[in-house]
Amino acid sequence: MIIRITAITKKCFKYAAILLGVYLIYAFVFGVVVFRFLTPAATDYLEQQAVDRFWEESVSKDRVALLEGRYESGLARINLIENAEESLDIAYFSIHDGMAANIFFSSIIEAAERGVEVRILLDGIFHNMRFDLKDVAYALHLHPNIELKIYEPIDLLRPWTWNNRLHDKLIIVDENLAMIGGRNIGDEYFVKEDSDAATNDRDVVIVNVDVVAAVDRDSAIIEMKTYYDQVWNHEFSEHMVTKLSTGQQRKGEAKILELKQFLGELEEANPEMFDHSVDWVAESFPTNNVTFIHNPLERFNKEPWVWYELTNLAGAAAESVFVQSPYIIPTKKMMEILDEAGVTVQPEAVNVLTNSLGSTPNVFAYAGHKRHRKPMVDAGLNVYEYHGPGSLHAKTLMVDDRLSAVGTFNLDARSAFLSTESMVVIDSAEFTEHLKNEIEYIMGQSLKVADDYSYLNEELEKLEAENADEDSVAAVTVREATMLKRLMIGILSLFSYLFEHLL
């Protein structure tokens, strides 16, 4: 009898292993391989969206404020939530447990308590509302003024859905304020002190100075809200929690009380963090035009709307182009689109800022980036790599010292063809000059990659040429990567080409 049971058990394990193997092959083919060969369905999007629509000569009703500092951008989020009167629409890729998440959620509950209608939309896989944050999801579900949805949750039977990720980062307050940028919600994005663990990013706040006119779609905020509604109501989005058990309800109620107590104690200890008097008009710059752009909502490979727009903007440049991205991984398809845009500025007028091997926290993406580092330098581009504290996570394009694009788009195939992405294109010489000054500070902590792929210290070279005192200027120190990090990236880079379409 025992022998028979053992034989049956072995047979069950055998069939289970076969089924698992078949499933893994199925998942690999439809979750990885097909994306390398599928071509996005072409539409007349480009014909309908002329590049000259980004420029205007009259003053827009939208003003724009830049949020560069980590701590300041955290305070700005508190202020926006505090100032919401009717509605608060929020979208994020990822929430990381910690102080920032506690402040974020407790402020949202406080807004809902005073009658603000809150909608929160998170990515269906990378939302991180698990473990310690699971009770927060219960708490949000319990509040009558809060709705919580996730976009494209994990579906084990349809692996092609795994790459359709929500990468937007938006906060829309009523119809007069909106924030967009690259920051997720996590302590590393808002920490005040510099450290190697800090993440340096960029947000902008759009200020509509004429809310009545916004109804007539004069404001980019209305474009953002329309897009948010589209994603919110899409079949890919569903409520994270639909029903709570008695135990889950108790946990949710306890979490609400805990977050309220947390916020009260924090306000008492740090009253300066909760200042309602931010004058966003005074903090912002006038614009001629602000245009909101985004990718379509599709599974498999999307038509690359945002990449179309950014390459066409680069193609319209007459003097200079600046690009900042955490990593640069342009696939063959992306380069074909760039070539079609007909960029005419000379390579020496193109500046690229990205992470160095020492500063990058993303070994998988950097392994893909490594293949393109030499070709960019060989093409004559000015490539700068960051060696300061923390890492770079901002995504920005500047054209001719007048036009700026800020948002969530990384220069890679995932942003071009797979994820939801959004940016604002800002026509404002004043804002772009301010942004340029902030970026120059980052460039001062970066090193230019020389023709032989080593680093130049341009400030010291300039001083040497002028026979000045070298000691009067501090050289930028190369930030070395650990041996383990170098080894991992080196090995991954050997195979990165095979998976470049997913990086």
pLDDT digits (tens, 9 = 90+) for 432-456: 999 999 999 999 999 999 999 999 8
This prediction has a pTM of 0.93
Residue 466 DSSP label: T
On the question of pLDDT at 41 being above 90, the answer is no
User: What is the percent of the chain with per-residue pLDDT over 90, rounded to a whole number?
Assistant: 83
List, in sequence order, every residue forming a beta bridge with 120; answer none if it has no partner: 90, 148
- Calculate mean pLDDT across residues 59-72: 96
Measure Cα distances from 45 to 41, 304, 336, 418 in Å.
Answer: 11, 10, 17, 17
State the chain's mean pLDDT as an integer: 92
pLDDT tens digits along 172-202:
999 899 999 999 999 999 999 999 999 999 9
Are 230 and 297 in contact, with CB atoms under 8 Å apart?
yes
Q: What angle do CA 34, 38, 39 make, to 5 degrees?
A: 165
Only one residue has tokens 């069939």, namely: 15
Residue 415 DSSP label: I
Residues 392 and 407: their CA atoms lie apart, in Å, by: 14
Going by pLDDT thresholds of 50, 70 and 90, the confidence category of residue 460 is: low
Are 371 and 498 in contact, with CB atoms under 8 Å apart?
no
List, in sequence order, every residue forming a beta bridge with 117; answer none if it has no partner: 87
Task: Give the relative orientation of helices 70-83 and 99-113 as an angle to the nearest 10 degrees.
Answer: 20
Residues 142 and 112: their CA atoms lie apart, in Å, by: 11
Which token pair is 130?
């698990």
pLDDT tens digits along 368-405:
999 999 999 999 999 999 999 999 999 999 999 999 99
What is the reported pLDDT for 210?
81
What is the reported pLDDT for 473?
46
Find the length of the chain: 503
The contacts of residue 198 (CB under 8 Å, 6+ apart) are 70, 188, 191, 389, 390, 391
- Calculate mean pLDDT across residues 144-148: 98
Residues 67 and 326: their CA atoms lie apart, in Å, by: 18
The contacts of residue 93 (CB under 8 Å, 6+ apart) are 122, 123, 126, 165, 166, 167, 168, 169, 184, 408
On the question of pLDDT at 269 being above 80, the answer is yes
More confident residue, 486 or 472: 486
Are 434 and 444 in contact, with CB atoms under 8 Å apart?
no
Residues 418 and 162: their CA atoms lie apart, in Å, by: 10
Only one residue has tokens 């054209």, namely: 399
Q: Which of 243-247, 321-325, 469-473 has the lowest mean pLDDT?
A: 469-473
Only one residue has tokens 């009558």, namely: 144
Residues 401 and 496: their CA atoms lie apart, in Å, by: 35
- Calculate mean pLDDT across residues 297-313: 95
**Which amino acid type is present at position 5?**
I
The contacts of residue 486 (CB under 8 Å, 6+ apart) are 357
What is the reported pLDDT for 457?
73
Domains detected in the chain: 61-282 (3.30.870.10), 289-502 (3.30.870.10)
Q: For residue 370, which of 503, 198, 200 has the smallest C-alpha distance? A: 503
Going by pLDDT thresholds of 50, 70 and 90, the confidence category of residue 2 is: low
On the question of pLDDT at 214 being above 50, the answer is no
Residues 97 and 91: their CA atoms lie apart, in Å, by: 17
- Calculate mean pLDDT across residues 36-50: 87
Going by pLDDT thresholds of 50, 70 and 90, the confidence category of residue 1 is: low
Residues 194 and 306: their CA atoms lie apart, in Å, by: 32
What is the reported pLDDT for 466?
57
Q: For residue 338, which of 362, 353, 321, 319 has the smallest C-alpha distance? A: 321
Going by pLDDT thresholds of 50, 70 and 90, the confidence category of residue 4 is: low
On the question of pLDDT at 234 being above 70, the answer is yes
Q: For residue 288, which of 485, 89, 25, 59 has the smallest C-alpha distance? A: 59
